Amino acid sequence: MTNKRRLRIGVYWLSQALKRRYPGRGIGVWWIVLAPLVLVTIYTSVLTGVMGLRWGMEEHAPVYFGLMVLIGVAYYQAFSECLIRASGLIHEKANLARKVKVPWEVLPFVLLGEVALPLICNLIVILVGLGITGVLHPVGVFYLPVIILPFFLLLAGCAALNSVLGVFFRDLGQLMNFLSMALLFMSPVFFSMDIVPESLRQLMLVSPLTIPVEMTRIALTDGELNTVWLLLLWTLSSVVFMAGMLIFRLTRESFADGF
């Protein structure tokens, strides 16, 4: 199968997945924009109004708090959905594989496209929100791509690895549900690393979400880029991506045995 045909199939599968996710009737695709706005409202109301949490920038609170939390949630949702759904990615095409030759290698990238779109839309809403409140650092906008791109590599690598494991371990999805819940509290999603005790900060860095989340917050509000963290992010993401793609290619011929 040619690369051009693989690309066409991948684009078709992605378009079908997005149509199912955002049907044309009713709110449809507008939910991509409305969802982050609803989330900001909920986080702002509950975490600041009920729990009394604060995040600096008191003159812009609680909107600033909601936007900072939304950054963490946007990355978490993308990573969590990728982990959970990848475990059943191959089995979703099992019936099709019995009839035609399936280009398995495009599946991780189709899933990446599904989770990347909401993340990008969330970040656009965050940029607009920070711009309106006057706390957006213009330089940070240019730093954003070099933070997001390695995160996408990480997602693709994790999708490839989990999809392979999911073929042979049917209950992997349950484990991924537990792991994603653990990551929610092991990562600075609802809080800043500044309030984490020094003794726990190194442990927090184990989470693959910590560096991209914190780097995005710092870049957008302070216009700074931690080069050490950036190097770590690119290195980890590249290793996971290459390992995931290699394992996927080596095992794809045996996928039929797992059905």
Q: What is the pLDDT along the chain (259 residues), one digit of tens a residue?
A: 677 777 887 888 888 888 887 776 556 667 777 777 787 778 777 766 666 666 655 555 667 888 888 899 999 999 999 999 998 888 777 665 555 566 778 888 999 999 999 999 899 989 998 999 888 999 999 999 999 999 999 999 999 999 988 888 878 888 898 999 999 889 998 888 888 888 888 888 889 999 999 999 999 999 999 999 999 999 999 999 999 999 988 887 776 655 5
Residue 248 to residue 254: CA distance in whole angstroms: 10
CA angle, 97 then 178 then 80, to 5°: 60
Q: Which of 115, 94, 118 is nearest to 104 (CA)?
A: 94
Residue 84 to residue 69: CA distance in whole angstroms: 22
State the pLDDT at residue 61. Answer: 61
State the pLDDT at residue 98. Answer: 56
Instruction: Kindly give, in sequence order, each residue whose CB lies less than 8 Å from that of residue 183, ignoring residues fewer than 6 positions away.
Output: 76, 79, 80, 207, 208, 209
Structural domain tally of the chain? 1
Residue 47 to residue 62: CA distance in whole angstroms: 9
- Asked whether 57 and 129 are in contact (CB, 8 A), the reply is no
Full residue range of the structural domain in which residue 143 is found? 3-258
Is the peptide bond prior to 62 cis by the omega test (within 30 degrees of 0)?
yes
Instruction: Kindly give, in sequence order, each residue whose CB lies less than 8 Å from that of residue 25, ignoring residues fewer than 6 positions away.
Output: none
Q: Give the per-residue SS3 of the chain.
A: CCHHHHHHHHHHHHHHHHHHHCCCCCCHHHHHHHHHHHHHHHHHHHHHHHCCCCCCCCCCCCHHHHHHHHHHHHHHHHHHHHHHHHCCCCHHHHHHHCCCCCCHHHHHHHHHHHHHHHHHHHHHHHHHHHHHHCCCCHHHHHHHHHHHHHHHHHHHHHHHHHHHHHHHCCCHHHHHHHHHHHHHHHCCCCCCHHHCCHHHHHHHCCCCCHHHHHHHHHHHHHCCCCHHHHHHHHHHHHHHHHHHHHHHHHHHHHHHHHC
Residue 23 to residue 157: CA distance in whole angstroms: 29
The answer to whether the pTM exceeds 0.95 is no
**What is the residue whose two structure tokens read 């507008």?**
30
- Asked whether 35 and 124 are in contact (CB, 8 A), the reply is no
